[in-house]
């Protein structure tokens, strides 16, 4: 079973960079999801690995085979890359039975030799069993439900035993309940087949629940490549923090400097004093020095690249993500950043870290409450700001009800506002 490696892979159309200098190692037997907003380069990445799209530059290896290398002119055709596909539009052949749909690809296999009728029959029955469609082999697609059709499509893809399986939003045509069901089927399939799965989705929940690792992209650029819970808990930057998680993370603007004991005294939410205590040891000064040095080095490398012959300037420029601070009157967000200093911070608080209790340190007022049975999503108004929280159980809150709140735990995230990057995690206490 192969491991897939992308080295400096770029795909551009004229000045538009669909995928920009992507470095990625997909480990053998991984279930990697390519996640990001529409147009960020997920499908292009997948198609390049599969051989359906030719990169502008870079190198791709699958197992020990170099399948693409712009420098040495290697470009292995898709049918020689031993990969399987499952696309969003998985059209089954309507005039063929389920059995014929699954076996069709197998009858076309010629290398290393043609399969016998018996071998094909065995394979069809085996994969049909895996996706629970053994009872429908004689039916036509029109006689199946959407979910059953989807499973036939999966069986058809699995039949030639691809060691790598690519899926591009394969569940997007299904209703919510079926999607959930198919998700767990896919998870099981991944274990049973031992194949490497690469799965494209724009649905962060799908990416979170299925993946062993999430590759989160934006504007063709890799933002973070980590296990789902790492992406959720320690997002590399404000964009990642915002993209992953539902309800979304709360961004609280903060201003403050570090004390000798390592804590950071900050002013948040219109003049409220709070203390951020880093989880580990932190020197903000050193952190900024390192971040600035890294940024300068990146700039230098970019200038070096730009000076090379044939370089094309990226027209779809990368910008620092503009986070949104929820306010009761949203107009106040003027969009003006002003000059930011090292004291300008953003604190990210996941909804589950908002703790409502009788003796919380800060006063707020219930702005809205949405109970789903298992949990209740509340928006709490603090001054002009709105903070989103999730409370477990069917708690009934009245709109306008006064509540008191704290920030729970030590996984609150501290970001630099200047460069949008994560500094550290820690606890946030109202003074
Ligand atoms: N053949 C093409 N010519 C020009 N631009 C393209 C082409 N294919 C894709 N793009 C652009 O590249 C970007 C990435 O596309 P894609 O990988 O399909 O995004 P997604 O993440 O939604 O799958 C998009 O902005 C898209 O418009
Ligand atoms: Mg796509």
| Residues 109-159: tens digit of each pLDDT | 777 788 899 999 999 998 898 778 899 999 999 999 888 888 898 888 888
pLDDT tens per residue, range 257-276: 999 999 999 999 989 999 99
- Is the pLDDT assigned to residue 83 strictly greater than 80? no
Atom of ligand 1 nearest to the CA of 14: 4
- Is the pLDDT assigned to residue 288 strictly greater than 80? yes
pLDDT value, residue 224: 98
pLDDT value, residue 87: 65
pLDDT value, residue 181: 78
As a whole number, mean pLDDT of residues 74-90 equals 78
Q: How many A from CA of 53 to the centre of ligand 1?
A: 11
The three-class DSSP label of residue 212 is coil
Atom of ligand 1 nearest to the CA of 34: 21
What is the band of 337 on the pLDDT scale with cuts at 50, 70, 90? low
- Is the pLDDT assigned to residue 94 strictly greater than 90? yes
Least confident segment among 223-237, 284-298, 335-349? 335-349
User: How many CA within 13 A on the CB side of residue 353?
Assistant: 22
Atom of ligand 1 nearest to the CA of 220: 14
Query: Strand pairing of 221-226 and 250-258?
Result: unpaired
- Is the pLDDT assigned to residue 284 strictly greater than 90? yes
Atom of ligand 1 nearest to the CA of 44: 17
Q: Check: pTM over 0.85? Answer yes or no.
A: yes
As a whole number, mean pLDDT of residues 92-118 equals 88
The Cα–Cα gap between 382 and 369 comes to 15
The residue count for the chain: 431
Q: How many A from CA of 387 to the centre of ligand 2?
A: 33
Query: Looking at the CA of 45, which ligand is closest?
Result: 1
Q: How many A from CA of 55 to the centre of ligand 1?
A: 13
pLDDT value, residue 53: 95
As a whole number, mean pLDDT of residues 176-193 equals 82
pLDDT value, residue 79: 80
What is the band of 319 on the pLDDT scale with cuts at 50, 70, 90? confident
Query: Looking at the CA of 34, which ligand is closest?
Result: 1
**40: Cβ below 6 Å to ligand 1?**
yes
- Is the pLDDT assigned to residue 172 strictly greater than 80? no
Least confident segment among 15-24, 261-270, 366-375? 366-375
Phi-psi region at 262: left, alpha or beta (left = phi > 0; alpha = psi -120 to 50): left
**254: Cβ below 6 Å to ligand 1?**
no
Query: Looking at the CA of 18, which ligand is closest?
Result: 1
Q: How many A from CA of 38 to the centre of ligand 2?
A: 7
Question: Greater confidence, 278 or 372?
Answer: 278
> Which tokens belong to 247?
């309800």
What is the band of 310 on the pLDDT scale with cuts at 50, 70, 90? confident
pLDDT value, residue 1: 59
Q: How many A from CA of 19 to the centre of ligand 1?
A: 9
pLDDT value, residue 194: 83
As a whole number, mean pLDDT of residues 322-341 equals 76
pLDDT tens per residue, range 207-246: 999 999 999 999 999 999 999 999 999 999 999 999 999 9
**38: Cβ below 6 Å to ligand 1?**
yes
**13: Cβ below 6 Å to ligand 1?**
yes
The Cα–Cα gap between 166 and 173 comes to 17
What is the band of 88 on the pLDDT scale with cuts at 50, 70, 90? low
Q: What's the Cα-to-Cα distance from 242 to each of 164, 180, 237, 284, 350, rounded to whole Å? A: 31, 23, 9, 23, 10
pLDDT value, residue 277: 97
Task: Of 77, 40, 44, give the one whose Cα is nearest residue 62.
Answer: 77
Atom of ligand 1 nearest to the CA of 42: 21
- Is the pLDDT assigned to residue 333 strictly greater than 70? no
**42: Cβ below 6 Å to ligand 1?**
yes
Range 170-174 contact pairs with CB under 8 angstroms and sequence separation of 24 or more: 170/86, 170/87, 170/88, 170/90, 170/199, 171/206, 172/88, 173/88, 173/89, 173/146, 174/146, 174/147, 174/150
pLDDT value, residue 247: 92
Ligand 1, atom 3: nearest CA belongs to which residue? 13
Residue with tokens 């712009």: 70
Q: What's the Cα-to-Cα distance from 206 to each of 11, 209, 234, 431, rounded to whole Å? A: 26, 5, 19, 39
Question: Greater confidence, 369 or 373?
Answer: 369
**420: Cβ below 6 Å to ligand 1?**
no
Q: How many A from CA of 14 to the centre of ligand 2?
A: 20
Atom of ligand 1 nearest to the CA of 45: 17
Ligand 1, atom 12: nearest CA belongs to which residue? 18
Task: Of 254, 228, 172, 236, give the one whose Cα is nearest residue 430.
Answer: 254
What is the band of 285 on the pLDDT scale with cuts at 50, 70, 90? very high
pLDDT value, residue 334: 56
């Amino acid at each position: 079973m192969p491991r897939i490696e992308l080295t400096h892979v770029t795909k551009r159309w004229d000045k538009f960079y669909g995928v920009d200098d992507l470095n990625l190692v997909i480990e053998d037997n991984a279930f990697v999801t390519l996640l990001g907003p529409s147009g960020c380069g997920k499908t292009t990445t997948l198609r390049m690995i599969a051989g359906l799209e030719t990169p502008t530059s870079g190198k791709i290896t699958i197992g020990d085979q170099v399948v693409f290398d712009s420098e040495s002119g290697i470009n292995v055709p898709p049918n020689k890359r031993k990969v399987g596909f499952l696309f969003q539009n998985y059209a089954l052949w309507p005039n063929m039975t389920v059995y014929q749909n699954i076996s069709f690809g197998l009858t076309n296999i010629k290398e290393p030799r043609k399969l016998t009728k018996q071998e094909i029959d065995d394979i069809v029955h085996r994969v049909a069993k895996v996706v629970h469609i053994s009872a429908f082999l004689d039916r036509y697609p029109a006689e199946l439900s959407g979910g059953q059709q989807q499973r036939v499509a999966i069986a058809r893809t699995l039949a030639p035993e691809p060691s790598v399986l690519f899926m591009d939003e394969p569940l997007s045509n299904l209703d919510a309940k079926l999607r959930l069901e198919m998700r767990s089927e896919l998870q099981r399939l991944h274990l049973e087949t031992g194949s490497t799965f690469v799965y494209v989705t724009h649905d962060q929940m799908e990416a979170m629940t299925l993946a062993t690792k999430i590759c989160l992209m934006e504007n063709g650029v890799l933002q973070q490549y980590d296990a789902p819970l790492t992406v959720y808990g320690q997002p590399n930057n404000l964009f990642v923090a915002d993209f992953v998680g539902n309800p979304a993370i709360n961004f609280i603007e903060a201003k403050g400097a570090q004390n000798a004991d390592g804590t950071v005294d900050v002013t948040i939410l219109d003049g409220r004093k709070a203390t951020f205590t880093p989880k580990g040891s932190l020197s903000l000064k050193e952190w900024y020095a390192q971040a600035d040095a890294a940024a300068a080095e990146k700039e230098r490398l970019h200038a070096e690249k730009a000076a090379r012959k044939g370089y094309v300037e990226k027209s779809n420029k990368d910008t620092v993500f503009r986070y949104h601070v929820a306010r009761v009157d949203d107009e106040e967000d003027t969009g003006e950043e002003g000059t930011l200093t090292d004291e300008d911070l953003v604190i990210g608080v996941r909804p589950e870290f908002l703790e409502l209790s009788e003796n919380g340190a800060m006063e707020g007022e219930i702005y809205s409450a949405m109970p789903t049975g298992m949990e209740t999503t509340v928006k709490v108004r603090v001054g002009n700001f709105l903070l989103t929280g999730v409370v477990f159980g069917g708690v009934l809150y009245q709109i306008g009800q006064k509540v008191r709140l704290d920030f729970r735990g030590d996984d609150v995230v501290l970001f630099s506002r200047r460069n949008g990057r994560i500094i550290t995690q820690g606890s946030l206490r109202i003074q």
